[in-house]
Structure 1
Amino acid sequence: ANVNTKITVTEFQAKYNPFGIRSTGKLIDDIFKFHKSDLMKQHIRILNDFPASQLPDKFDARKRWPQCSSIHDVPNQGGCGSCYAVAVAGVASDRMCISTNGTVQVTLSPDDIVSCCTACGTCFGGDPLKALIYWVNEGIVTGGQDGCRPYPYDIKCGVPCPLFEFAKNVKLQKCDRKCQKIYYQNDYFNDKYFASIAYTMVPRILPLPAYGNIPIPAVMDYFNYDITLEILKKELYLFGPMTMAFPVTEEFLHYANGIYTPFPENDFTKRIIYWHVVRIIGWGHDRERLFYWTAVNSYGRSWGEYGLFRIDVRFLEQFGLEYEAALV
């Protein structure tokens, strides 16, 4: 039989759910289409032409774009492994504001991604790049308590919630294409906000049902890999926050303050609990000139440095960190 006629569960859901990413093949096509688009060529030109010497020693997106209140938001994913959707909804809200110079101020809904993008993931985790592509193709509605689709998962289960809580909440994952009753500004379909192209910054593998692991093109394909950090900084400085995925061990869950780095390093791979996705909003150096990213986590404000953390990624880079974004 022709391999292409076999339909996996994910593809079946996508095929018969016109609002999911339509099929795995379409997903790959989109990634390559975005990579070769005129908008991407223009994006690369801007990144290339901006002088690295003009990048500040330390940077905070909240100060660069004070008109964008969403950059300050610290979400709490509660009893759902939705970090990928929460981080993407945050990046999308920030970039909507930044790209419109503050005229569009929205809090976009992670629940729209978790519930209605079958290909993106579930309460047991998912892929931020797929969620960013969903933002391009299907749009994301408003969230927050008083938006179209509020976040339904309970946050009383701890900081962060234990993994067994996620299983209980899968039943809440319903793609109901209606806004909550108190939200009367728009209907669901007219409440959507869209991006133009989505992309990964550094090369990575995309695991796809029926296709296996597919290497996908990245922004860094246009540059020398020696300047990866410089290009990541330019992306953040010129266009706003982006997502970062990295492996997490137990000690990260108990982070209180300072610059996080995995410790001890030995047996690190055996100790990985899961991959986690966060929103990067800045960078800096400590007194020893150690570089760190400043990131917003999704464990609420009582975790870490008021919900944020600083991370030294040198050790983690060997595991293939993923940085992703989209242009409005």
Structure 2
Amino acid sequence: MPLFLLEGGRGESTCGTSGRWECEQNACLIEPDIIQAVNRGNYGWRATNYSELYGMTLNEGIRYRLGTQRPSRTVMNMNEIQTDNLPPYFNSAEKWPGKIHEPLDQGNCAASWAFSTAAVASDRISIQSMGHMTPRLSPQNLISCDTRNQGGCAGGRIDGAWWYLRRRGVVTEDCYPYQPPQQTPAEVGRCMMQSRSVGRGKRQATQRCPNTQNYHNDIYQSTPPYRLSSNEKEIMKEIMDNGPVQAIMEVHEDFFVYKTGIYKHTDASFTKPPQYRKHGTHSVRITGWGEERNVDGTSRKYWIAANSWGKNWGENGYFRIARGENECEIETFVIGVWGRISMEDMHNHHHHHHRRHI
């Protein structure tokens, strides 16, 4: 699908189609000289060209590929919870095999607010139910149904997403699959899943799965989310004890071309005019950490995080980013959550499980 249709014919997206001069007014998302500058410099990470991002302007990348709004002041003032013998390396996928979900691809839909929330909730429910339930929760359910003060594919807030997950609940990705927008990134599709209360705060779907092949329209809910302090040790302890966390970060122009290594925002485009230096707010899932030794004996500490730009981007859909220095504000607003799981749920799901294999 040619991305330059998205701009309604104003010709913004001529990146890569008809020579470089078109981009004088509009910086492109893929700037070969930025890629070269990163790869020549000693930044600790490597850049690459992504065919699925080629041809988009930087404005479009920020508009269509991110999609988390900064939390309101009241939410930013949520209390932080007030650590020891943490290992130098930790990866959730190794501690909880089969319970950490692969990165999805949000496409040109600015809904990282829904993707990161669904991913963290999926991992946490799988871990807390000790693998009795390993749902991959549906971002589309949030995008289409959580419409109160949310913008769907035009961006939204994670506090609204967690409110919805707690009050209404969502079904699995398999039940309500993701449909990336075809033309206008604003279209989100009407909500095809409602739930009703069945007492004790629990809810039940009142509709069949939009995917007619699937009959498992179980509703999954969470408890209210809690905010961690920006102290890297506390974030590490939380991940190690309870599973992946959600973080908000500022995405700059050079992050789009990240391929491998420990990302830090570079000065690769400082010599360029201001339209080449832009950023937007995004949300991601942090799943672990580590450190890499430099030749001179010093070490570089990093977070391991899952993005939602597909598995072709970065390190198989993941990226590493400098840890302990609030790189791109990734440690500023970090969230954990508990799934709402009862022994009865675990028992019922166990039976589901057996029925399916007969």
For the aligned pair, the TM-score class normalised by the smaller chain equals 0.5 to 0.7
TM-score normalised by L of structure 1? 0.67
Matching residue of 1:66 = 97
1:298 aligns with 2:330: no
Matching residue of 2:186 = 170
Higher-Rg structure is 2
Matching residue of 1:261 = 264
Matching residue of 1:104 = 133
Change (3 A) 1:316 1:263: same
Deviation at 1:171, TM superposition (A): 1.9
Amino acid at match of 1:310: R
Match of 1:252 among 244, 252, 255: 255
> Which consecutive unaligned segments of at least 5 residues does structure 1 have?
1-27, 155-164, 202-219
Write the distance in 1 (CA, Å) between the matches of 2:252 and 2:211: 41
Write the distance in 1 (CA, Å) between the matches of 2:191 and 2:319: 32
Query: Tell me, what secondary structure is at the counterpart of 1:253?
Result: helix
Deviation at 1:184, TM superposition (A): 4.3
Matching residue of 1:113 = 142
Query: Tell me, what secondary structure is at the counterpart of 1:129?
Result: helix
Deviation at 1:93, TM superposition (A): 0.6
Deviation at 1:236, TM superposition (A): 0.6
Matching residue of 2:196 = none
Q: 8 Å contact 2:153–2:188 — kept in the other structure?
A: no
Write the distance in 1 (CA, Å) between the matches of 2:338 and 2:281: 25
Write the distance in 1 (CA, Å) between the matches of 2:188 and 2:142: 13
Deviation at 1:267, TM superposition (A): 6.4
Query: Tell me, what secondary structure is at the counterpart of 1:168?
Result: coil
Matching residue of 2:122 = 93
Change (3 A) 1:318 1:171: closer
> Which consecutive unaligned segments of at least 5 residues does structure 2 have?
1-73, 194-206, 340-358
Query: Tell me, what secondary structure is at the counterpart of 2:187?
Result: helix
1:240 aligns with 2:243: yes
- More helix by percentage: 1
Query: Tell me, what secondary structure is at the counterpart of 1:280?
Result: strand
Amino acid at match of 1:257: T
296-305 vs 125-134, which moves further: 125-134
Amino acid at match of 1:322: F
Write the distance in 2 (CA, Å) between the matches of 1:122 and 1:261: 29
Write the distance in 2 (CA, Å) between the matches of 1:301 and 1:310: 14
Match of 2:223 among 187, 196, 210: 196
Matching residue of 1:158 = none
Write the distance in 2 (CA, Å) between the matches of 1:318 and 1:122: 24
Change (3 A) 1:267 1:140: farther
1:77 aligns with 2:106: yes
Write the distance in 1 (CA, Å) between the matches of 2:281 and 2:161: 16
Matching residue of 2:155 = 125
Q: 8 Å contact 2:290–2:302 — kept in the other structure?
A: yes
Write the distance in 2 (CA, Å) between the matches of 1:267 and 1:186: 52
Write the distance in 2 (CA, Å) between the matches of 1:310 and 1:82: 21
1:325 aligns with 2:333: no
266-275 vs 317-326, which moves further: 266-275
Amino acid at match of 1:272: K
Match of 2:212 among 159, 182, 186: 182
Write the distance in 1 (CA, Å) between the matches of 2:267 and 2:326: 11
Change (3 A) 1:304 1:197: same
Matching residue of 1:25 = none
Amino acid at match of 1:58: Y
Write the distance in 2 (CA, Å) between the matches of 1:137 and 1:267: 46
Match of 2:286 among 264, 280, 287: 280
Change (3 A) 1:315 1:230: closer
State percent identity of aligned pairs. 31
Write the distance in 2 (CA, Å) between the matches of 1:235 and 1:319: 15
Write the distance in 2 (CA, Å) between the matches of 1:318 and 1:199: 18
Q: CA RMSD in A?
A: 2.9
Deviation at 1:79, TM superposition (A): 2.0
Deviation at 1:121, TM superposition (A): 3.6
Write the distance in 1 (CA, Å) between the matches of 2:268 and 2:159: 28
Q: 8 Å contact 1:292–1:311 — kept in the other structure?
A: yes
Show the 5 A alignment for 1:209-220.
220=229
Q: 8 Å contact 1:85–1:131 — kept in the other structure?
A: yes
Q: 8 Å contact 1:247–1:272 — kept in the other structure?
A: no
Show the 5 A alignment for 1:124-163.
124-143=154-173, 147-153=174-180
